[in-house]
Structure 1
Amino acid sequence: MKIELPIQQIIPELKQQLREQDTAVLIAEPGAGKTTVVPLELLGEPWVNERKILMLEPRRLAARSAAARMAASLGESVGETVGYRVRMDTRVSQATRIEVVTEGVLTRMLQQDQGLEDTAMIIFDEFHERHLHGDLGLALALESRAMLRPDLKLLVMSATLDPVPICTLLGEGTSWLDCPGRTFPVETRYVRRPASAQLEEFVARATANAVADQQEGDILVFLPGAREIHRTARALESMMLPANVLVQSLYGSMPLERQDEAIRPAPQGMRKVVLSTSIAESSLTIAGIKVVVDAGLSRASVFSARTGMSRLITMTVSKASADQRRGRAGRTAPGLCYRLWSEEAHGALPEAARPEITSADLAPLALELAAWGVQSPAELQWLDIPPAAAFGQAQALLRQLGGLDDAGRITPFGRRMNTLGVHPRLASMLLRAAELGLASYASMLAALLQEPAGLRSSGSASAGTDLRPRVEALLTADSSGMPQAAASVADAAAVRRMLQESRQLRSALDPAQHSLRPDEDSCGLLLSFAYPDRTGQRREDGRYLLSSGRGVRLAATESLSRSAWLVAAEADDQGADARILLAAPVPEQLLLDHATHLLHEEDRIVWDRSTRSVRAHRFLRIGAIVVKESGITHPAEDQVMEAMISGIRLEGLSCLPWNKSSRQLADRLRFLHTHLPGWPNLSADELTTDFEARLRPFLSGMRSVTDLKKLSLQDVLLSELSWEQRQQLDQEAPTHIQVPSGSRIPIDYSRPEDPTLAVRLQEMFGQQETPRIGGGRVPLTVHLLSPAQRPVQVTRDLANFWRETYFEVKKDLKGRYPKHYWPDNPLEAMATNRAKPRGS
């Protein structure tokens, strides 16, 4: 008897909506049946018209499982009406009308045919997982609808997604449907893990207790990654579980047959304990599960735009993920969920996980957009637009790899990179390796680098950080046909998968007929093609400086720590100097010979404060690393000029050959600017910022402070004046003024707002009015001096001084200087620069 699933209740309404509208959102709780029912129900709609329905599943296992269940419901095999396309595995035929595809596959299909002419609808299932390629696929599909296929229907399905933002993104008229799930009550028990408890041991103990407490039903255990799964499995082996309990693992990089085995019902009379990553969180039904043990952790790759590195981190799950996991226990009967954290800690969990697009390495996305013809993400529609800093860093990397030109457009080399279906770093390496006859070796290296870190680092052949033994082990397994010779069953499965991947990559490259035998330096050279920003030179302290400017380190016990140059394929990106996890050495000369795309020359013509002169050097660089330095015999004159100006700015104006005349001229010009319009501004600030423009014509051939001594600053200052201003200069701001005694007394312009005249009082007898300059506009401040040149009065009103103050001053001066001339009427007396006028 066929059981009707909850989703059947809203299928009529969904069909009606899609007849009237080309977009829709379906929110269906776990267990509703949306994944396996909706595509089949829509296949017969008139608007399909013999075309295909594509359904996007975020995970390979879920895609294959969904296709198998739909095919079984039709009484067919996978590959007939219903098929799937996942990486390294395709089951479709001419008869296939529903294709379940993973995210990267959808992107590739859209790139190959932007209109998807043979497709009536794309369904985005489990969209709440918000993987990078899912967001990209939806953005490209929306662009395809807008530009080429207005009839292309889009359906977004999820269990936990907030429908409002996605409806807004899909466009006017889009609405959502809600469908309750078919779930049974699930009891939740919180079991706090002590801080001192080791994760795997604690999870194993909780699982063993669950087996003992619950006498029936299978148990699904959520752990963050494959490493923790293997450790927990070993811990359970030591706990003597009942003989009828079968422990199985489930994670994404497992062989397909073992994944299928994990999700099949347990054999008659047996109970299963399935140790799984978040792969089993949604889209996937594991038959017989009645108990969930949730460690509350997941693993994610977090990218740093600052360093250009990604690192795997283990983080607590969100409330939405925890609820999805708990729901696995209530699919077929009432269930039980053990959460291995406290109820208080649960309240502090985030509501939902961050979309991957906000924290991922965006290099693959940037290359896909460039291949689509888009240089800025803002040209497309997104739920969350890619962060500008990370996207800019991704474009910079693609330029280094040769995938983008300086304008951000995809290059022919970049288009070839984008056809290989691997990270742009590895694509660049593979293509350049093929040119060198090293395609076979590079495909092995690429397959290895795509493996999860836990598997990549396990086994005796992979001790240490050196990648070369790992690649050699793969080559040996390939030639011998014995991947089972690896150190563990997990390794053997990984080796088989890597060999399959390497063969596919090698065939995609179509390498030249000749194939060179790799030597021990090939690994490092090929890595430099993939990681131009992680080529490192050894420092004096044994650490390494990467071409990106990042510092990294190796343990002193590592054999690679003696290498002058290496390439870091992976580092932990923690601390001031990140720890290298995987690397290979590369000789400097090999880099210079083959990695010419990494090399660039930089001429530095700069002011050297230690020698107070211009130094001209040429640097051959790989990013931040200086490979070679040499002097430049004949540097460009304009660059020398800029360095001289920079030096003057650094040293300050005091390095210029100021003398009494040039300083006074500068002061006079400042006076004229202060009091008369149209004169140049020679204030201190103006001199500092704009004086360089005045200096340029006079600096030709100069390269040091010593050369500056040849400058005539008077000529520099006068160069600013027009012919008329030069004629007015001595009239409006004379250097000296003649006083009644006949002496020419210098004017002090050091305070341009208040020029002064310091003169002995006796030399001013007969001068009734205060002297003025600036065309008579500005009175001088007169400092009247005693015969000993000491000030006795400061005034800007000489007439008032003679009238009111002179007689008091006279009494004092006559007593101190009795031999000098002190007339009773200074306005009629003869001025003198002597003690007394001649003849008196």
Structure 2
Amino acid sequence: MTNLPIDEVLDDLRNAMREGRNAVLVAAPGAGKTTRVPLALLDEPWLAGRKIVMLEPRRLAARSSAAYMARSLGETVGGKVGYRVKLDTKIGPRTRIEVVTEGVLTRMLQSDAALDGVGLVIFDEFHERSLQADLGLALSLQSQDLLRDDLKLLVMSATIEAEPVAGLLGGAPIIRSEGRSFPVETVYRPKPSGVYLDDAVAQAVADALRSHDGDVLVFLPGVGEIRSTEGKLRSRLGSAADSSVRIHPLYGSMTAEAQDSALAPLPTGMRKVVLATSVAETSLTVEGVTVVIDSGLMRVSRFSPRTGMSRLETVTVSAASADQRRGRAGRLMPGTCYRLWSAEEQSALAPRSAPEIAEADLSALLLELAVWGAQDVSELQWLDAPPAPALQQARELLVQLGALSRDGTAVTAHGKRMALLGKHPRIAHMLLRAQEIGLGDLACELAALLGERDVIRASAGQAPNADLRIRLEALRGRGAYAHSVESSVRGRLIEEARRTRRELEALTVSGASETAESLDDCGLLLAFAYPDRIGRQRDNGKFLLSGGRGAAFAPGQPLAHESWIVVADVDDAGTDSRIRLAATVSYELLAEHLQEAFAVENHLFWDSESKSVRGRARKKLGAILIEETPLHKPRADSVQQVLFEGIRAEGLGMLPWTKAARQLQERTVFTRHHDVSWPDLSDEALLGTLEHWLDGYVGGMKGRGDLQKLNLKDLLESMLSWDQRRELDKDAPTHWTVPSGSRIPIDYSDIDAPAVSVRLQELFGLPETPRIAGGRVPLTLHLLSPAQRPMQVTRDLASFWSNGYFEVRKDLKGRYPKHYWPDNPLEAEATRRAKPPGK
């Protein structure tokens, strides 16, 4: 067996695992950790014949590493070494090393929390920070703490920061292997502005084939770019394509046979170009590769808590990913890496990608935790805790799907069945509901399609028909688009649908007999999976979704004029997200089968036009208003609350203010201005405390007309104690009796200057300004002419008599000659008549 760099630290690793429960192994790409470590630990005494389970983030790497380890032992896969991945399992009674992925470890833990028969769990390529890896580690740590103190955990990675992981594992030792790789020349070759990615990559591949020996590994963001680049490359290579150069796509959803073909060595004289997604970044050795061409892009799924939707985004790789890709060229011999960006751009790359748990839809994770029995995610240990907004969105969705109780705290029986299916909660719910109504076969086909990249290719410059039904037709080999589905893809999806059907039948005890399904049932099945994406036509191809978002079709889409649709895929961009995949549905089917999604809201509101409380009964499907009818007999307390809201909106002028009521308010406010122990009856305070002082008086009232029945003065007076009422009459009287005997009302609207308006003649003989509030506040006197017109304002009557009166007297005597204007007002007798008293 060839020596590998990891061999130098295997003894250190064995010692660490013998002495403790956990360890962290950091080994450079190509060191051999994935295939050597499980074999090196298999015969350790502490393992005592139990299994090693190794979690591998990618299916391709899981199958490849298991096959390599089996060959190392002179066996085939399924003997001592086996694997379990989605739609493919090869294990046997002798299997001691299981390489698993796609949530298999989570399923194992959920069925047996103690992992009986397992002695070691290895988390390989942990730097990828997949959601399943984070969840699996969190569950394994709790199992270790509560149930299995002899269970050992080993985290392996090439580029991760080891210290935080070691801390999470209880201060576990860190073993490092520097690795050995051949020198790789890095060539920066920025993509020219205006040149399409596929053209730039095809040119780079053609140049590399001319300048270098060996095979070429190309990293592209997705399947669409792989397909277009393959076409451009075949055009450039001409007859050399297939005759001397084989072009192999490599991505996760390909068949196992096609993936194996891309990895296998070619006969002498043949060269290979592998067009791959990031699936080839780690844990793989592509035989013969000496050149890597890196587009610098990758596709990731990101969840938006704002919309509750996930979207695929093409993003720039991190520096760690770029180094991983570069290392593929130096696995077996010196190589070259072409980077389609500049050295300056390289220095600006993020050190590493964000963990999936920080950006993913967390509904599947939350469901697994609920089944596990964790009511709070903080009960488990996380390297990065799941973000609260995404958790809240996930909880709301699971409640809507019936997987959690209405308060979101406990898993339901339906939720447990959903989890057992191992699908996304949306798909699992759809499958179970479809089985109940006899549409299980169609649902299984639909589930296979929804888990696949679009099987219909877009035409140049034009989006494909968004109707999901034509894809089902094409999957069945029928319709205008049947030729668009690759035979290998069709075969794999049909087999996946059959397998899901078997799992569904094994899980459900009973269900309706299969009905004569129609492709038009697709919309109903989608509505089960996406109850928040049921859409109703607004106008011109625009729809309001039940989740509250807007969505729209691209121009020319056949479904754009349907009344009701269900959206399976949107781009989540802008105000109206672009609909990429949908199906039509009838309102009658929705009303029959999604009764739990409908709700009747009793909506009370303040009608500013009529100045009254109005009520409507609104039947809604999420955010979609179905119908609205007048609300009869609304709850009295709700009516009262809206009435108060209306008063606040309109102001206290809604209430029947008499002069007496307003004066009482102003007198009290004046008194409080000098003594804060008094109640606050200002407009602001009254509006803020309507529930306190009006409650009990507005029962049965709905609007302004009803409010006019209130005796506002009595209401305000009831807020004062008996002693306060007496004190108010004494210190802030309603009237002042002037020397002439008239009772003049006091105006308290200005709390700093209470005032009376009185004819000058009625004050003759009064030497000083009258005072209130126990003598603390002088009244402001508005002195009037005999015709009640303002003549002078004063708060110092004595000064007015001495200085101002004589000027005023000249003017008044000229205008009112028949009236009495004495030379000495202090000795004159006050009068309400034109002549002095007694004449």
SS in 1 for 2:116: coil
The superposition leaves residues 292-321 of structure 1 with CA deviations (integer Å, 9 ceiling, x where unpaired) of: 111221111121111111121212211111
**CA distance in structure 2 between the partners assigned to 1:378 and 1:632 by the alignment:** 45
Match of 2:232 among 235, 238, 250: 235
2:59 counterpart of 1:60: yes
Give 1:365's aligned residue: 365
**CA distance in structure 2 between the partners assigned to 1:141 and 1:585 by the alignment:** 44
- Report which stretch shifted further, 487-496 or 45-54: 487-496
Which amino acid letter does the alignment assign opposite residue 488 of structure 1? E
SS in 1 for 2:756: strand
SS in 2 for 1:39: helix
Give 2:689's aligned residue: 690
**CA distance in structure 2 between the partners assigned to 1:12 and 1:484 by the alignment:** 57
Given that residues 443 and 505 in structure 1 are in contact (C-alpha distance below 8 angstroms), is that contact kept between their aligned partners in structure 2? no
- Report which stretch shifted further, 10-19 or 485-494: 485-494
**CA distance in structure 2 between the partners assigned to 1:103 and 1:429 by the alignment:** 20
Which amino acid letter does the alignment assign opposite residue 81 of structure 1? K
Give 2:317's aligned residue: 317
State the shift of 1:74 in Å. Answer: 1.1
Q: Percent identity at matched positions?
A: 54
Given that residues 7 and 33 in structure 1 are in contact (C-alpha distance below 8 angstroms), is that contact kept between their aligned partners in structure 2? yes
**CA distance in structure 2 between the partners assigned to 1:299 and 1:261 by the alignment:** 24
Give 1:634's aligned residue: 633
Give 1:217's aligned residue: 214
Give 2:205's aligned residue: 207
**CA distance in structure 2 between the partners assigned to 1:738 and 1:128 by the alignment:** 91
**CA distance in structure 1 between the partners assigned to 2:793 and 2:512 by the alignment:** 99
**CA distance in structure 1 between the partners assigned to 2:452 and 2:541 by the alignment:** 29
SS in 1 for 2:321: helix
Which amino acid letter does the alignment assign opposite residue 52 of structure 1? K
**CA distance in structure 2 between the partners assigned to 1:454 and 1:385 by the alignment:** 36
**CA distance in structure 1 between the partners assigned to 2:457 and 2:357 by the alignment:** 26
Give 1:189's aligned residue: 187
Given that residues 255 and 493 in structure 1 are in contact (C-alpha distance below 8 angstroms), is that contact kept between their aligned partners in structure 2? no
Give 1:716's aligned residue: 715
**CA distance in structure 2 between the partners assigned to 1:385 and 1:241 by the alignment:** 54
Q: How many residues align?
A: 831
Give 2:661's aligned residue: 662
Give 2:428's aligned residue: 427
**CA distance in structure 1 between the partners assigned to 2:477 and 2:280 by the alignment:** 35
Give 1:584's aligned residue: 583
SS in 2 for 1:406: coil
**CA distance in structure 1 between the partners assigned to 2:512 and 2:805 by the alignment:** 111
2:607 counterpart of 1:616: no
State the shift of 1:253 in Å. Answer: 0.6
SS in 2 for 1:539: strand
Alignment of 1:719-738 (within 5 A): 719-738=718-737
Alignment of 1:167-182 (within 5 A): 167-172=166-171, 174-182=172-180
State the shift of 1:753 in Å. Answer: 2.9
Alignment of 1:550-565 (within 5 A): 550-565=549-564
Alignment of 1:417-816 (within 5 A): 417-453=418-454, 464-475=465-476, 487-489=485-487, 491-510=489-508, 512=511, 514-802=513-801, 806=805, 809-810=808-809, 813-814=812-813
2:308 counterpart of 1:308: yes
Which amino acid letter does the alignment assign opposite residue 272 of structure 1? K
Which amino acid letter does the alignment assign opposite residue 138 of structure 1? L
State the shift of 1:260 in Å. Answer: 1.1
Give 1:280's aligned residue: 280
**Distance change in 2, residues 1:446/1:716 (3 Å):** same
Give 1:267's aligned residue: 267
The superposition leaves residues 624-668 of structure 1 with CA deviations (integer Å, 9 ceiling, x where unpaired) of: 101121111222221111121111111122232323332222212
TM-score (norm 2): 0.94
Which amino acid letter does the alignment assign opposite residue 210 of structure 1? A
**CA distance in structure 2 between the partners assigned to 1:200 and 1:542 by the alignment:** 33
- Report which stretch shifted further, 305-314 or 523-532: 305-314
**CA distance in structure 1 between the partners assigned to 2:67 and 2:134 by the alignment:** 26
State the shift of 1:364 in Å. Answer: 0.9
Alignment of 1:330-369 (within 5 A): 330-369=330-369
SS in 1 for 2:83: strand
**Distance change in 2, residues 1:367/1:817 (3 Å):** same
State the shift of 1:126 in Å. Answer: 0.5
Given that residues 226 and 454 in structure 1 are in contact (C-alpha distance below 8 angstroms), is that contact kept between their aligned partners in structure 2? no
Given that residues 191 and 341 in structure 2 are in contact (C-alpha distance below 8 angstroms), is that contact kept between their aligned partners in structure 1? yes
**Distance change in 2, residues 1:504/1:62 (3 Å):** farther
Give 1:387's aligned residue: 387
The superposition leaves residues 561-603 of structure 1 with CA deviations (integer Å, 9 ceiling, x where unpaired) of: 2211110011111121111111111111211111011111110
The superposition leaves residues 532-579 of structure 1 with CA deviations (integer Å, 9 ceiling, x where unpaired) of: 110011013431000111111124532222211110011111121111
State the shift of 1:358 in Å. Answer: 1.3
**CA distance in structure 1 between the partners assigned to 2:195 and 2:278 by the alignment:** 22
**CA distance in structure 2 between the partners assigned to 1:475 and 1:416 by the alignment:** 29
**CA distance in structure 1 between the partners assigned to 2:700 and 2:512 by the alignment:** 59
Which amino acid letter does the alignment assign opposite residue 186 of structure 1? V
State the shift of 1:806 in Å. Answer: 4.5
**CA distance in structure 1 between the partners assigned to 2:457 and 2:50 by the alignment:** 42
Given that residues 265 and 288 in structure 1 are in contact (C-alpha distance below 8 angstroms), is that contact kept between their aligned partners in structure 2? yes
**CA distance in structure 2 between the partners assigned to 1:364 and 1:280 by the alignment:** 26
SS in 1 for 2:282: coil
Given that residues 474 and 499 in structure 1 are in contact (C-alpha distance below 8 angstroms), is that contact kept between their aligned partners in structure 2? no
Given that residues 643 and 703 in structure 2 are in contact (C-alpha distance below 8 angstroms), is that contact kept between their aligned partners in structure 1? yes
Which amino acid letter does the alignment assign opposite residue 5 of structure 1? L
- Report which stretch shifted further, 149-158 or 392-401: 149-158
Given that residues 447 and 501 in structure 1 are in contact (C-alpha distance below 8 angstroms), is that contact kept between their aligned partners in structure 2? no
Which amino acid letter does the alignment assign opposite residue 191 of structure 2? R
Which amino acid letter does the alignment assign opposite residue 43 of structure 1? L
**CA distance in structure 1 between the partners assigned to 2:452 and 2:486 by the alignment:** 16
Which amino acid letter does the alignment assign opposite residue 342 of structure 1? S
- Report which stretch shifted further, 817-826 or 218-227: 817-826
Given that residues 294 and 339 in structure 1 are in contact (C-alpha distance below 8 angstroms), is that contact kept between their aligned partners in structure 2? yes
Which amino acid letter does the alignment assign opposite residue 363 of structure 2? A
The superposition leaves residues 481-536 of structure 1 with CA deviations (integer Å, 9 ceiling, x where unpaired) of: xx997643454355445444443444444452621121343111111110011001
Structure 1: segments with no counterpart, 5+ residues = none
Which amino acid letter does the alignment assign opposite residue 435 of structure 1? E
2:67 counterpart of 1:77: no
Give 1:291's aligned residue: 291
Which amino acid letter does the alignment assign opposite residue 214 of structure 2? G
State the shift of 1:777 in Å. Answer: 4.2
State the shift of 1:787 in Å. Answer: 3.0
Given that residues 767 and 797 in structure 2 are in contact (C-alpha distance below 8 angstroms), is that contact kept between their aligned partners in structure 1? yes
SS in 1 for 2:501: helix
Given that residues 761 and 832 in structure 2 are in contact (C-alpha distance below 8 angstroms), is that contact kept between their aligned partners in structure 1? yes
**Distance change in 2, residues 1:458/1:128 (3 Å):** farther
**Distance change in 2, residues 1:13/1:593 (3 Å):** same
**CA distance in structure 1 between the partners assigned to 2:342 and 2:125 by the alignment:** 28
**CA distance in structure 2 between the partners assigned to 1:204 and 1:15 by the alignment:** 47
Structure 2: segments with no counterpart, 5+ residues = none
Given that residues 421 and 504 in structure 2 are in contact (C-alpha distance below 8 angstroms), is that contact kept between their aligned partners in structure 1? no
Given that residues 52 and 121 in structure 2 are in contact (C-alpha distance below 8 angstroms), is that contact kept between their aligned partners in structure 1? yes
The superposition leaves residues 227-278 of structure 1 with CA deviations (integer Å, 9 ceiling, x where unpaired) of: 2222222222222263322211211111111111111111233221111111
Which amino acid letter does the alignment assign opposite residue 736 of structure 2? I
